[in-house]
Structure 1
Amino acid sequence: MIKEQGLSVQHVSQTMDIGPTAIRRWLEQYGAEQNGQPGIGKPLTPEQQRIRQLEQENRQLKGDVEIFKKSIGLLCPRIEMSYQLVQQLQKEATSVTQCCRVLSVSRSGYYEAQRRSAKPVLCKASVHLKAAFTASHQSYGSRRLVTAMKNQGIEIGRYKVRSLMRKASLKPVGKRKFIHTTDSKHDLPVAANVLNRQFNPVAPNMAYVSDITYIRTGAGWLYLAIVLDLYARRVVGWAMAPSMPAKLVCDALNMAIQQRRPAPGLIVHSDRGSQYASELYQDLLDEHGFVCSMSRKGNCWDNAVAERFFLNLKMERVWQRQYANHTEARNDVADYIVSFYNCERLNSALGNLPPTVYERKMAVQEPIVVSGIT
């Protein structure tokens, strides 16, 4: 200490009124301790020796850090390289504060660099998000968009999707007022509710649901009847006509029979409409050995899956179009069913898979031999 401050032993002796011999002995002991020796005085205790060892290791670490800082300055002159190193060290559970302190960079500068680098990624995600939203006919919310983006190889969280949707003003199309079309005021016999809301059969061609809806066109109303297989929520039959005779629902069921070849015992559920209670429709069921099931009076929830399909169809396609005539409406609705709903649209009840994809996946995992399906 005396040498470091440029003081002589004689000067310190006179100033502090201490003998020069004692000062020289202290200096000799201090120098010995600095070199790891116990000194010429009283031997160091184990605790003191441990302290001396830690002090020496601390001095060595400080020297190593100085070398590291100098090497970073020489090899990585751009501060962006230091920011990249901080990001890499974070993966090894090292805090940002510690990394920035060791590398002599500011935390605010690091976070600002992170924000700037994230802009191109978010811009790309926003473009893909708008494309997926448009492809869904403006129907997907944040949950389905997360899955759609993941299918494109873009990992993004739901809350980030919601934020991007707000910035881009992407809002799913809304619902319209429901108009009742079922005519259950008739004297025809009705069937019991055999399905009883069991909407998740374990195999294809075990339970179908059927219903009728209307579509507005410039040439008047066009009525659509569909048959949907509950196993994969797939539309397997449909028919359209400018009126609602019993033949309309029979044509839809015949299309399903031709495509799927279901075995006897299939449950076919519908509402209590006069078309489904008609002799023509009931004879068709009896001919193939199918079990007729009908919703309870005034209870739309008993046929909720078919009702939901019609809502999706209208929100995602019909309400976004103005059909000039029946032919234009027929072609567009058929395109929605075949090209989009059955093959592309993500269905939350199927683990966000389209119906055809779900059927293929389940057929590979658990091969089931059913009439018309392997």
Structure 2
Amino acid sequence: MVRYAYIESLRGEHAITKMCAWLGVSRAGYYKWRKWVPSAREKRRLLVEKVVVNTFWEFKERYGAPRLKDELEDEGIPACKNHIAQLLAKNGLRARNGKGYKYFPAPNARNHVSDNLLRRNFTASKPDEKWVSDITYIKLNRGNAYLAVIMDLYSRKIIGWALDTSMTNQLIIDAFQMAVKNRGVEPGLILHSDRGVQYRSGEYQHLLLSQGIRPSMSRKGNCWDNAVIESFFARLKVESLYAEDITTKGKAYSCVFEYIEMFYNRKRRHSANGNISPEQYEQNYYAKCA
């Protein structure tokens, strides 16, 4: 089927007969493949496989067949644990739990990986010296919403954020553009993140470099290298999201907006700031500099 798909992608550029001969497949088989329409059962099988693989990566390789089964059932997709295990094996996937787990990065996992410039030094001497960024998910009635944030380590203020139902490059780019619009960016600023595929994208890396920003990334599989932003996500969920009935993207957006823009940045007393809000902490800094 892969060979037939390859021939289809080049149709019009080369003769079908020649391409079939080059790839060692029959022309009749190719035309039969083109006319093939998957049955309802086959469509469901392909859908379940796609959902299993996507959910596996969504949870960062932490869930095996039993927990993936629960996740799928929560989404209204009945699935058998053994069938999920077979699909994971078919795709060469294995959850990283237990002593037998070995990490084998995907071929593109090394692309655009930056050094860990932050080195768990979560202090800064002034605003816009060090930023940190990450993505978390918010469970909805159907699927998830994804929240990307950027925090200034000096005051712990959230200076950029974006929310959508897809975890794409555009999500972190929107958060980044908000941060740049809100702040004065000077060359040498460090922006730290994990090694997620979105943060390693060429488009995102180009945006950082175009602003003179120095990218920094956590070490492989080490969440503590970005502990401050993880702590923020924990407080957001405990102090806001878990107390609400988040059913839709709109509801998620409203809750996040209220928490970040109206409470966390302007009112919430932060222990790292001497128990004053991030906004007040920055105002005190600029008052001293005046």
Query: Do these two structures clear the TM 0.5 threshold for a shared fold by scoring above it?
Result: yes
- Percent identity of the aligned residues? 44
Per the alignment, residue 214 of structure 1 pairs with 137
CA contact (8 A) 2:193 2:199 kept: yes
Per the alignment, residue 190 of structure 1 pairs with 113
Larger helix proportion of the pair:
1
Q: How does 1:83-102 map to 2 (within 5 A)?
A: none
CA contact (8 A) 2:112 2:202 kept: no
Three-state SS of the structure 1 residue aligned to 2:136 is strand
1:290 pairs, out of 188, 213, 216, with: 213
In the TM superposition, what is the alpha-carbon distance from 1:363 to its structure 2 partner?
1.9
Per the alignment, residue 191 of structure 2 pairs with 268
Three-state SS of the structure 2 residue aligned to 1:277 is coil
Per the alignment, residue 247 of structure 1 pairs with 170
Three-state SS of the structure 1 residue aligned to 2:234 is helix
2:277 pairs, out of 354, 362, 365, with: 354
Partner Cα separation in structure 2 for residue 233 and residue 302 of structure 1: 16
Per the alignment, residue 281 of structure 1 pairs with 204
How many correspondences in the alignment?
189
Per the alignment, residue 222 of structure 2 pairs with 299
> Which amino acid in the other structure matches residue 200 of structure 1?
T
Q: How does 1:40-55 map to 2 (within 5 A)?
A: none
2:158 pairs, out of 227, 235, 249, with: 235
In the TM superposition, what is the alpha-carbon distance from 1:280 to its structure 2 partner?
1.1
Cα 1:318–1:353 shift into 2, 3 Å? same
Partner Cα separation in structure 1 for residue 110 and residue 286 of structure 2: 44
TM-score, normalised by the number of residues in structure 2: 0.62
TM-score, normalised by the number of residues in structure 1: 0.49
Partner Cα separation in structure 2 for residue 285 and residue 272 of structure 1: 15
In the TM superposition, what is the alpha-carbon distance from 1:324 to its structure 2 partner?
2.2
Partner Cα separation in structure 2 for residue 342 and residue 357 of structure 1: 9
CA contact (8 A) 1:182 1:271 kept: no
Q: How does 1:334-353 map to 2 (within 5 A)?
A: 334-353=257-276
> Which amino acid in the other structure matches residue 291 of structure 1?
R
In the TM superposition, what is the alpha-carbon distance from 1:299 to its structure 2 partner?
1.1
Can you give the 5+ residue segments of structure 1 that lack an aligned partner in the other structure?
A: 1-178, 368-374
The 4+ residue runs of structure 1 with deviation greater than 3 A are: 179-185
Considering only CA atoms, is the larger Rg found in Structure 1 or Structure 2? 1
CA contact (8 A) 1:285 1:291 kept: yes
> Which amino acid in the other structure matches residue 168 of structure 2?
P
Can you give the 5+ residue segments of structure 2 that lack an aligned partner in the other structure?
A: 1-56, 62-104
Per the alignment, residue 288 of structure 2 pairs with 365
